[in-house]
Structure 1
Amino acid sequence: MDIHNAFLHGELDEEVYMIPPPSYCIKGETCFIQSQTDHSLFTLITATSLTIVLVYIDDILVVGNDLSQVSYFKSVISTHFKTKNLGPLKYFLGLEVARSPLSIFLNQRKYALPMEQNLELNDTDGDLLPNPAPYRQLARRLIYLTITKFDIVFAVNILSQFMHTPQIPHMTAATRVLHYIKGTPGQGIFFSSSNDLHVSAYTKSDWVSCATTRRSTTGFFIPLGSSPIFWHTKKYTTIAHCSTEAEYRAMAVTTCELVWLQQLLHDLGISHTAPMTLYCDNQSALYIAHNHIFHERTAPNILRSTATLSVIAPFWSLHHHSSSLF
């Protein structure tokens, strides 16, 4: 659960001491007991049930072996505060929770990512760095690290867009990437000698991800069998009118790279006769790729990309995937 308006941003000139509210009771009989080892933990134990409440400022986690007691607790709290029911536990204080009948798995994947999710950097928010040289030097070194660390490619692409006037939020984001790298300094790329030589590609576009220019960012990842060999992310030079157009452009760009890679394999004496597999998670873009019929709803920019895909379509096959590169 989440409590609305936990922070009222009031200006206080005096000291304020908070006293926990009176114990909450179930139908006037059994009451919640505050833990003496963790004052944010409250438990209610009856003959048939156990209900546990963990409170962190405005976030409340309710656990119990009797769903009726949990629902009753939520209803009582909702009569005193404006609350939001977040449903079954998935995230709590940055922890990701995965549950099954046999186990519970906790991880901090979002916190450990090189860039905070939904972070929007721009040229206007934040103070300018007094000396932009360290930021520029750091960004150049991070770009070089992307040779073997494809998991930071997207974050580095964003940071490199502010080399001209870096600001404090940009440096903060760059420092987060450094912390991420320090956690896995020896992580690299593994090439197996028993790997097959089938080429596949995963493509994705982040539509209008740039808050300043409203341009989209495209990215692709190409493994040779199970070994990664090529990855790239780049912001478009033009504005896509819809997510379908952005995804279709990403497919066209990736297909061109696949054709280049096929020629490179040929130069190395490797014959790749099987179709290269291109994965995309946008159904509309897949429909257009499979059916090259132009109509009034097809944007002119998509038509140009369609012409590209039509020429090189014999070299690859299309598939749908639900994973994300960003």
Structure 2
Amino acid sequence: MIVTGDDTVEIERLQKRLASEFEMKDLGSLKYFLGVEVTRSKHGLFLSQRKYVMDLLVDTGMLDCKPTDTPIVENHKLGVYVDQVPTNKERYQRLVGRLIYLSLTRPDIAYAVSVASQFMHSPSEDHIAAMMRILSYLKSAPGRGLLFKKNGHLDLEGYTDADYAGNIIDRHSTSGYFTFVGGNLVMWRSKKQNVVSRSFAESEYRGIAQEVCEILWLRWLLAEIRFRPNAATDNQSAFEIANNLVQHDQTKHVEVDRHFIKEKLEHKLISIPFVPSSEQLADMLTHAVSKRRFEDSLDKLGITDIYAPT
């Protein structure tokens, strides 16, 4: 159990009450919890799963592999084909499960793991090769994790994007979003949409509607602990249609999402500022990006490696 707060007297009172009912031991300041390592410094709070990564590399025989710069190749053609060579399904599923858990502190592998998880029921040698590339990428920086800093504000910011009809097999789009509180990354997701979008705007709307829900939930959570943050979210296509009072024929099939987003804009619960494509962080959650774009995004997301030699 993790107990946190800024009232030391109340924390001690809670610990004594719990100790009177259960056999407990105070382990002091949080350092390790369910595979997540916690490190404190003058720069902030750092979360990583370095030992978990090293154990994973040992268990898969990838400890001595050649490192790669990105977790997935650009323009990959991963899919299910009739002539594919099958691989061990149980081994593949176990590996995907371990990588999903690793994604708790490694948003840099979120898209690659999301793609890999789509082939759990019929994995092939091509799919296992993609998994090995993720492991090779982890070998390049096993201690990489998230740094949380005091930035002097508690603003909510969200970046959302969609890769329209990007799946080469069924033409489903992929949505992705990053959510920040006080300049620190707290939530992210990369997921293939459940249905085929008929237009680019529809795929964008599906993504932004989900992100707005996350923003609203975080606003409620912070209000419960007596914080009143500002909120912003970014999506230029949704901005143009949500602020257009004319309901176009080509967007009627996304009417619910449109009105949901527009209502939150009118109530000033969210705002949608313009963000240039070069600053769109969510790109790396919807498709494989170049090495340069990938590395630029890591720094902006607060993903770092305190164990890397300086």
Would you call these one fold, judging by a TM-score over 0.5? yes
Is the Cα–Cα contact under 8 Å of residues 151 and 183 in structure 2 kept in the other structure? no
Equivalents in 1 of 2:195, 2:245: separation in Å?
23
Is the Cα–Cα contact under 8 Å of residues 114 and 180 in structure 1 kept in the other structure? yes
Stretch of structure 1 that moved more, 137-146 or 217-226: 217-226
Who is 2:252 aligned against? Answer: 299
Residue 188 in structure 1 maps to residue 145 in structure 2 = yes
Is the Cα–Cα contact under 8 Å of residues 195 and 227 in structure 1 kept in the other structure? no
Paired residues, what number? 210
CA shift digits 1:95-154 (9 cap, x unpaired): xxxxxxxxxxxxxxxx6111001112111152001x222111110000001100001111
Which structure is higher in helix share?
A: 2
Equivalents in 2 of 1:147, 1:289: separation in Å?
33
Structure with the greater alpha carbon radius of gyration: 1
**TM-score using structure 2 length:** 0.65
Q: Show structure 1 runs of 4+ deviating over 4 A.
A: none
**TM-score using structure 1 length:** 0.61
Residue 315 in structure 1 maps to residue 269 in structure 2 = yes
Distance 1:297 1:166, change over 3 A: closer
Is the Cα–Cα contact under 8 Å of residues 245 and 299 in structure 1 kept in the other structure? no
Is the Cα–Cα contact under 8 Å of residues 200 and 223 in structure 1 kept in the other structure? yes
User: How far has the Cα of 1:269 moved from its partner?
Assistant: 2.4
Who is 2:11 aligned against? Answer: none
Identity of aligned residues (%): 31
Distance 1:308 1:165, change over 3 A: same
Stretch of structure 1 that moved more, 239-248 or 167-176: 239-248
**CA RMSD between the two structures:** 1.5
Equivalents in 1 of 2:250, 2:199: separation in Å?
11
Distance 1:194 1:294, change over 3 A: closer
Match of 2:146, SS state, is: coil
Give the alignment of 1:131-150 within 5 angstroms: 131-150=88-107
Equivalents in 2 of 1:220, 1:154: separation in Å?
11
Is the Cα–Cα contact under 8 Å of residues 150 and 182 in structure 2 kept in the other structure? no
Distance 1:164 1:270, change over 3 A: same
Pick from 180, 184, 197: which aligns with 2:154? 197
Pick from 121, 128, 132: which aligns with 2:86? 128
Is the Cα–Cα contact under 8 Å of residues 242 and 258 in structure 2 kept in the other structure? yes
User: How far has the Cα of 1:217 moved from its partner?
Assistant: 0.7
Match of 1:173, SS state, is: helix
Which structure is higher in strand share?
A: 1
Distance 1:165 1:318, change over 3 A: same
